[in-house]
Amino acid sequence: MSSVASLTLISQQFTIYFGIPVFFFGLIGNCLNILLFLSKNLFPSSPCQLYFLTASISSLIAIIIPLSLRILIGLQYDLTKTNLFLCKSRQYLGHVSILASLTCVSLATIDRYLISCREVRFRQMSKISTARILCILTIVFWSLHGLPIVIMVNIYPAAANQTVCV
């Protein structure tokens, strides 16, 4: 067995055995986070709550679409080789949702710093209205940042009678 074939087999096995538990635990964890952050009222009342809610929704999107398609690829059922929409959406949504989630967690960290400062002017920067604007700007920014993925990703012919989503 060649080294490329053995690395491909290891990659597939890793995706199957570690991807499926990550998928289910991530799905359950993010759904519980969303329920937790929406349990008191429909709209978050603190900026940190809004940041974590947005991060949980973004992580849920990253788990449902890109990770589930990656698990199917590991199971030798690659839908992205034949369906251009799934090819583009897997790449685009994975990129946008992961970056939006990380940005929202970073914004929550900054918000916690601002709210714990001794100076009043820093504490006053932590507002729900500012958090809403920053969450929307985060999603818009990363969505625009990912547009080249939608334009450039395509299904290309590879070896004999095979295609690849790149």
**Residue 50 sits in a domain of what CATH number?**
1.20.1070.10
Measured CA to CA, the distance from residue 165 to residue 43 in angstroms comes to: 39
Q: What is the reported pLDDT for 1?
A: 65
Q: Which residue from 78, 32, 40 is spatially nearest to 59, judged by alpha carbons?
A: 32
Exposure string over 61-89, b if 16+ CB within 10 A, otherwise e: bbbbbbbbbbbbbbeeebebbeeeebbbb
What would the DSSP string read from start to end of 97-126?
HHHHHHHHHHHHHHHHHHHT-SSHHHHTT-
Using N-to-C axis directions, what is the helix angle for 128-145 and 84-115, rounded to 10°? 150
**Of 2-6, 82-86, 113-117, 146-150, which gets the smallest average pLDDT?**
2-6
| Domain span at 14 | 3-165
What's the pLDDT tens digit per position in 13-45?
A: 888 899 999 999 999 999 999 999 888 777 788
Mean pLDDT score of the chain: 92
What's the pLDDT tens digit per position in 137-154?
A: 999 999 999 999 999 999
153 touches 95 (CB < 8 A): no
What's the pLDDT tens digit per position in 78-94?
A: 899 999 999 999 999 99
Pairing of the two strands 155-157 and 163-165: antiparallel
Domain count, the chain: 1
